[in-house]
């Protein structure tokens, strides 16, 4: 009996490495397949564009890891990590791949002028964001719409109808009232000997002005708009799995972390809120108010 137990234990110890190998093998195969397919896709794209590496060399780039790219080189202070990498490679331009997303790092005034002025139309569009696509109805707003005819029309509408001098002057009472409230809150905190967070105060002032100007009231509607804007900014500006992972892996990540449901819920909340605003305006128009 003792010999049989010893034999079974030995077999289990021998099987453990094999089990781990069987578990890791699919992951390694997927990494290898993704790396090869990415290279083939980039090669096909260069052929379609008529580009050749001999004529259009890419900027210098540190050695990447499969799937992760250069994510392992970015620390808790990204700007410091990028500065160190640019200094190490000694170039005005540096190409990084943060997962599936290519990133061009600009490290000199001359290169910045070329990117922001000479070739600004090439870099004018924001990277695609799934949260912005869903929450902002296909990234149709000015902030996330790709540069083109739609963006130019949206900008014209905003400048003429929302940011004209007449409209800005019309919101002057709102700004004055919120500025007075800001000063009053600061005074009360000073009299009580409490510390004041200027960042929170200024953010609250800006948010109140925007919501009152958009909603036309400082009541429940303005508070709901303020909450929607805050939650939407968290989703849009937060970690985007689609930026660093392939499509299938990004979808799995969103479902596993609940991000997919949060985005869908936010979309439904915006639909409900905007539908109520539109219905209220239609009712006022019908009544001649």
- Whole-number pLDDT of residue 2: 44
What is d(CA 101, CA 126) in angstroms, rounded to the nearest whole number?
12
Q: Retrieve residue 91's tokens.
A: 């170039």
Question: Do residues 225 and 273 lie in contact, with contact meaning Cβ atoms separated by under 8 Å?
Answer: yes
The alpha carbon of residue 1 and the mean position of all alpha carbons in its chain are separated, in whole angstroms, by 63
Rounded to 5 degrees, what are φ and ψ at 239? Answer: -65, 130
b/e sequence 125-146, b meaning 16+ C-beta within 10 Å: eeeebbbbbbbbeebeeeebbe
What is d(CA 131, CA 135) in angstroms, rounded to the nearest whole number?
6
Question: Do residues 205 and 178 lie in contact, with contact meaning Cβ atoms separated by under 8 Å?
Answer: yes
Question: Do residues 88 and 61 lie in contact, with contact meaning Cβ atoms separated by under 8 Å?
Answer: no
What is d(CA 2, CA 10) in angstroms, rounded to the nearest whole number?
12
DSSP assignment string, 114-156: IIIIITTTTS-SPPP-HHHHHHTTTT-STTTSPSSHHHHHHHH
Q: Pairing state of beta strands 93-98 and 101-106? A: antiparallel
pTM for the structure as a whole: 0.60
Q: Which residue has the tokens 């809150």?
A: 185
CA distances in angstroms from 79 to 90, 107, 128, listed in the order given? 16, 11, 22
- Whole-number pLDDT of residue 32: 53
Q: pLDDT 10s per residue in the chain (289 long)? A: 444 444 344 444 434 444 444 444 455 455 555 555 555 555 555 554 454 444 567 888 888 888 778 888 888 888 888 888 888 876 788 888 887 778 888 988 888 898 888 888 888 888 777 777 887 788 888 888 888 888 899 888 888 888 888 888 888 888 898 899 889 989 998 888 888 888 888 877 887 887 777 766 666 777 787 788 778 777 777 667 776 777 777 777 778 878 888 888 888 988 888 888 888 878 877 777 5
Burial class from Cβ neighbours inside 10 Å (0-12, 13-18, 19+) for residue 24 reads exposed
């Amino acid at each position: 009996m003792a010999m049989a137990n010893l034999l079974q234990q030995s077999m289990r110890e021998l099987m453990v490495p094999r089990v781990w190998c069987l578990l890791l093998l699919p992951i390694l195969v997927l990494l290898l397949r993704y790396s090869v397919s990415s290279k083939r896709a980039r090669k096909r794209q260069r052929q379609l564009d008529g580009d050749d590496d001999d004529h259009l060399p890419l900027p210098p780039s540190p050695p990447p890891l499969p799937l992760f790219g250069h994510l392992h080189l970015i620390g808790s202070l990204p700007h410091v990590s990028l500065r160190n990498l640019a200094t190490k490679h000694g170039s005005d331009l540096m190409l990084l791949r943060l997962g599936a997303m290519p990133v061009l790092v600009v490290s000199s005034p001359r290169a910045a002028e070329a990117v922001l002025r000479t070739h600004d139309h090439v870099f004018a569009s924001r990277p695609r964001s799934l949260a912005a696509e869903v929450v902002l109805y296909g990234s149709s707003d000015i902030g996330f719409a790709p540069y083109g005819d739609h963006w130019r029309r949206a900008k014209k509408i905003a400048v003429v109808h929302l940011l004209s001098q007449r409209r800005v002057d019309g919101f002057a009472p709102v700004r004055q009232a919120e500025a007075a409230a800001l000063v009053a809150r600061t005074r009360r905190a000073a009299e009580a000997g409490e510390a004041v967070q200027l960042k929170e105060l200024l953010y609250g002032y800006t948010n109140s002005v925007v919501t009152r100007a958009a909603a036309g009231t400082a009541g429940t509607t303005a508070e709901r708009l303020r909450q929607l804007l805050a939650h939407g900014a968290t989703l849009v500006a937060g970690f985007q799995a689609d930026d660093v992972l392939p499509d299938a892996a990004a979808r799995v990540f969103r479902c596993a972390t609940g991000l997919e449901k949060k985005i869908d819920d936010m979309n439904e909340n915006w639909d409900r809120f905007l539908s109520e605003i539109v219905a209220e305006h239609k009712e006022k128009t019908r009544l001649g108010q």
